[in-house]
């Protein structure tokens, strides 16, 4: 029995294009899933990716916005990866990722192409357990690492099956700043400025604000209400990757 070694990575981001519910509290996090591979004794391993589904809090299932296509896993080895899906999710937890495959999966051995049977994916998809808590305003990336030695098996007579053994690697790739202004009902622009860049948002009807996707660093936050109310500047606000920094309630005068 031969076994093939490969790493499959699912990417769920870059810019995210859909909003869906993993919980019902109305705030969101960005999630990306990527795909990677390790060198193996084969010419190519082609996987037909048609969908990615995330299951979260209360078993809510969300279909991500994917980059469908037939991917050669061996193109994504030695630290390389590729983005295959993105989404904007309500905060809560990601419990499971389901990779949905199409019928065009093949493996090339000694320059001969063989169909790659995917019995575990044909009916219910490749299911990966994650158990990742999402925090509002934080960007996350999940890398799915397939072990090729254990994932592709030759059963004889040129028949190959995909029985994936996959390690998930989860990373936060940004932070955020949140807060509130009073009196409620005032219009105000919120700007977070670091030495490298500036990011802006506005308050909602309840006076809350959240600036997402911030690189780690030190920021000044400028709250600019409509005149005659006075501009407020808060300095030395620290943003940490994976954390939503709460600067509290600002009283406008």
Lowest mean pLDDT among 65-74, 90-99, 209-218: 90-99
Average pLDDT rounded to a whole number, residues 91-100: 83
> In which band, very low, low, confident or very high, does the pLDDT at 252 lie, cut at 50, 70 and 90?
very high
CA distances from 66 to 113, 168, 174 (A): 26, 18, 21
Q: In the chain, which segments carry CATH 2.60.40.1120? A: 176-251
What share of the chain has pLDDT > 90, as a percent? Answer: 28
Q: What pLDDT is attached to residue 91?
A: 67
pLDDT at 194 over 90: yes
pLDDT at 92 over 90: no
The answer for residues whose C-beta is within 8 angstroms of residue 116's C-beta and 6 or more apart is 45, 46, 47, 105, 106, 107, 152, 160, 161, 162
Q: What are phi and psi of 55, to 5 degrees?
A: -110, 130
Average pLDDT rounded to a whole number, residues 97-124: 82
pLDDT, averaged across the chain: 80
Q: Does 169 sit behind a cis peptide bond, omega within 30 degrees of 0 on the bond before it?
A: no
CATH superfamily, with its number, for domain 176-251? Carboxypeptidase-like, regulatory domain (2.60.40.1120)
> In which band, very low, low, confident or very high, does the pLDDT at 17 lie, cut at 50, 70 and 90?
very low
Give the count of beta carbons closer than 10 Å to the beta carbon of residue 160.
21
Q: Is the pTM of this model over 0.75?
A: no
> In which band, very low, low, confident or very high, does the pLDDT at 182 lie, cut at 50, 70 and 90?
very high
* Strands lying side by side in the sheet with 217-225: 198-202, 188-193, 217-225, 232-239
- Count how many Cα atoms sit within 13 Å of the Cα of residue 111 in the half-sphere of its side chain: 0
Q: What is the pLDDT of residues 18-71, one digit of tens each?
A: 333 333 334 677 889 988 876 667 888 888 999 999 888 778 888 899 989 999
Top-confidence residue, 109 or 147: 109
């Amino acid at each position: 029995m031969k076994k093939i070694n490969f790493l499959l990575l699912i990417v769920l981001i870059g810019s995210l294009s859909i909003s869906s519910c993993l919980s019902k509290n109305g705030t969101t996090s960005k999630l990306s899933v990527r795909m990677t591979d390790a060198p193996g004794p084969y010419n190519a391993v082609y996987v037909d990716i048609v969908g990615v589904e995330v299951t979260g809090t209360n078993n809510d299932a969300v279909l991500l916005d994917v980059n469908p296509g037939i991917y050669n896993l061996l193109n994504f080895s030695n630290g390389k990866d590729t983005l295959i899906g993105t989404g904007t999710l309500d905060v809560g937890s990601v419990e499971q990722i389901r990779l949905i495959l199409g019928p065009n999966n093949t493996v090339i051995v000694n320059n001969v192409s063989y169909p790659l049977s995917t019995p575990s994916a044909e009916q219910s998809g490749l299911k990966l357990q994650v158990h990742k808590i999402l925090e509002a305003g934080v960007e996350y990336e999940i890398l799915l690492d397939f072990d090729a030695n254990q994932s592709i098996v030759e059963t004889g007579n040129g028949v190959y099956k995909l029985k994936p053994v996959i390690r998930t690697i989860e990373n936060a790739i940004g932070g955020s700043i949140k807060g509130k202004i009073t009196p409620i009902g005032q219009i105000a622009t919120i700007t977070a400025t670091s030495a490298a860049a500036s990011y802006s948002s506005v308050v909602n009807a309840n006076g809350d604000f959240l600036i997402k996707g911030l690189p780690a660093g030190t920021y000044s936050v400028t709250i600019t209400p409509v005149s005659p109310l006075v501009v407020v500047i808060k300095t030395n606000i620290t943003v940490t990757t994976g954390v939503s920094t709460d600067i509290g309630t600002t009283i406008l005068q």
